Amino acid sequence: MWNHQTSAISSTLRIDKLRYLVSCTFSSSFEGVSMEKWEQWRLEDELVVIMRLLVGHPPENDDKIDETEEDKRNTLPATLYGPIGEWSRYLYVLRDRVLRFPGASRNALWRLKELIEFLQRHQTAANPHHGIQPQHLLYRVLAELAISREFHQSGAQRAQQGLSLVIQELLPFITQEIHQLVQVSSAAEADDGDELVVVFLQLLHFMLFASSNARTTTEKLHESGMLRTLLMLLPASDTDKTQAVYLEKRWLPALLRLLGECALWHAGFAVYISRVPKFVKLLPTLRERFVAEELVLGLAFHQYQVAISVKMDIWGTFVSESLFPLKCESYLDAMKKVSRQFVGLYAFTLTCLLLMIASGRRIYCLEKAQVASTSQLIRVCRAPRVH
C-alpha cells in the first residue's frame, strides 16, 4: 500500500515537472537557433518524436471518470498527454519555423506528413468515431501554410513544390477523412466537418496552384478518386429545402471553384462531372449566388463540347453586372460592390481565363460571340475602376 502511494506521488511529481517544462516551450525560444544548428541537431525529428510520445500516451486525467469533460478543463491543470494535451505546442514551433524559412522547409513538411499518417492510422484503429482527432490539427496547420503570404511570394517555388508534394502524398488519407465526414450524423460533428472540408479544399487548391502543369495535377486528382470523393459531399436529394441548406455550406464556393478549374484543365473530368445527376441538378441554383463558378464550369463544358441538359449563357454571364458591376450610383456603392465581388468573382474568373490563354488554348465561345469585339472585352475586363 505504501509503495503504491509512493509510486503515485512520484508519478505525479514527474508529470508536474514535465508539464512545467512544456509550459516554457514557445516558438520564440527557438528563434536564436541558426539553420546550421537546426539541421545539425535534427530538431524537426526531435519535435516530431516528442509529439508522438505526448499524443500517443493515455491522458493522465482519464481516471476522473466521475467528472464531465467541462469539469476536467475547469478544475484540473493542463493535460500533458493525449489528443488534447500539450503536444500542439511543438507543432506550432515547427509551423513557425517553416514560415520563417519556407525555402528550407522540405524536411519539416515531410515530418508533418509522416506524423499525419501515424496519427490517422492510430486514431482510426483506436477510435472508430470520427470527431475531432489530432491529425485534423495538422491538416489545419498545413492549410495555414498553403494560404500564407510566405508560400505565395515571389521566389517561393521551392517551398510550394515541397508542400504540393506533401499534399499529393496525403491524398489517400484526405480521401479517407472525407468518406468519414460524409457519414456524420450529429449537428455538432457536421459543423466541425464543414470546417475540415474547407481545410481540405484549401490544400487541394494549393496543390493545383503550385503545379507547373495544371492538367497533369488535375489528372492525378481525377485518377486518385479525390474529385469523385468530393462530389459525395453534395446532397443526394434535390428538394428545394435540401439544396437551400447546402447553398449555405461554407465549403461550397471553394468546392465549386476547384471542380470548375479541374474541368477547365481535364476533358475527361469535364465529361464525368456532366454525367453526375446531383451535380447537374444543382447548376440552376448557382446562377444567382455563384455566378463566377457557373461561368467557369460553362467554359469548361463548351471548351470540350460536352453536352449538358442545363442551358448556360456563357457570354451573357460574362458581360452581366452580376459578375462585373459596370454601373454604380455612387463612390460608396462602387466600393461596396468591389469589396464584395472583386476578389471573389472578378479575380477568380479572370485568373482562369488568363491561365487558359497563357497555355495557348483558345476560348471559342468568346471568340464566336457576336458582341465579342476586342474593345468590348477590354472594357468588361477593366470594370469597375474606382479612383
- Domains contained in the chain, number: 1
- Is 125 within a domain? yes
- Chain-centre distance of CA 61, in angstroms? 33
Say what the pLDDT of residue 352 is.
Answer: 74
Specify if 288 maps to a domain. no
Length of the chain counted residue by residue: 387
Distance CA 104, CA 359 (A): 30
Residue 173 domain-assigned (yes or no): yes
State the pLDDT at residue 229.
97
| 243 occurs within a structural domain | no
| Domain residue limits at 189 | 25-212
Residue 223: CB atoms within 10 Å: 12
- 228 near 273, Cβ under 8 Å? no
Residue 372: the pLDDT is 41
Does residue 375 sit within a domain? no
pLDDT of residue 318: 75
Cell 514560415 identifies what position? 99
Residues 6+ apart with CB under 8 A from 129: none
32-69 core/surface letters (b: 16 or more CB in 10 A; e: else): eeeeeebeeeebbeebbebbbebbbeebbbeeeeeeee
Say whether the peptide bond before residue 384 is cis (omega within 30 degrees of 0).
yes
In a domain, 180, yes or no: yes
Domain-embedded: residue 30 = yes
pLDDT of residue 358: 63
pLDDT of 85: 85
**Per-residue confidence (pLDDT) for residue 363, from 0 to 100:** 54
DSSP 241-252: HHHHHHHT-TTH
- pLDDT value at position 314? 80
Is there a domain that residue 337 lies in? Answer: no
- Averages of pLDDT over runs of 10 residues in the chain (387 residues) are 50 79 89 93 94 85 49 57 88 96 94 95 59 89 97 93 97 96 70 91 96 93 96 82 84 94 93 94 85 88 89 79 74 68 59 67 50 42 42
pLDDT at residue 189 in the model:
64
